[in-house]
Amino acid sequence: MNFKVGKTKIYIEPVLFIVVLLTIFVIPMRNYFKNYAFCFLFVIFHEFSHIFLASILGVECTRINIRLCGMNAEFNFSSRISLKWLYIAFAGPISNFLLSILFSRIEMVRDINLALGIVNLLPVAPLDGYYIFKTILEFFFAKNRVEKVLKTFSFCVLTLIVLIGIYLAITIKNPTILIFITYVVILQNAAEIWV
């Protein structure tokens, strides 16, 4: 579902409405999605931190994508080689770290925000760490060289995370990291289609 608020295009994935309806009307589903909804709120807070800082810095948010797996904002930059872009990219993870400190006595809130902050600093597209790393490299190297370095580095990081995920799935029967990697790969492909 697409609509516009001011100059910002907003896309909401239709399956999200189905999940919300199931959560409201099907009691067993309500218990399952309670933790998901809680985590989703922190993802929204993370993204609105990017949007809030961008508006303070005079950078226009052009699109907001709200999907079952999360939310992301896109901005209008004439050039990504900018300290503004670096500040905006850091805003999300910093907001999660601040929430983890503010709610340090509530274990679940602390852990979710700490995980969101750390994971978003990974230098893998479409995570914030990718754009942070890219912006820093573009201050020192030519754009075509930066792209090669980032692709190689992102591939190595993803490969390492997949290996850790397989190990954890086998040893402690926890597929969380493999699910996360699948999500990142899907978002990478989706981002290439939307751009």
Distances (CA, A) of 32 to 20, 26, 28, 139: 12, 10, 7, 45
Among residues 43, 158, 137, 37, which one has the least CA distance to residue 93?
43
* Beta strand spans in the chain (E): 2-5, 8-12, 61-67, 70-75
All residues at 6 or more sequence positions from 175 whose CB lies less than 8 Å from its CB, including other chains: 165, 168, 169
Q: What is the pTM of this model?
A: 0.78
In tens digits, the chain (195 residues) has pLDDT values of: 888 888 889 888 888 888 777 777 776 766 667 777 778 889 899 999 999 999 999 888 999 988 877 788 888 866 555 788 899 999 999 999 999 999 999 988 898 899 889 888 988 877 899 889 888 888 888 878 888 888 888 888 888 877 877 787 788 776 666 666 666 666 655 544 333
Among residues 97, 50, 95, 56, which one has the least CA distance to residue 74?
50
Give the H or E element holding residue 176: helix 176-194
Amino acid at 137: L
Longest dimension (CA), the chain: 55
Residue 138 near residue 79 (C-beta atoms within 8 A): no
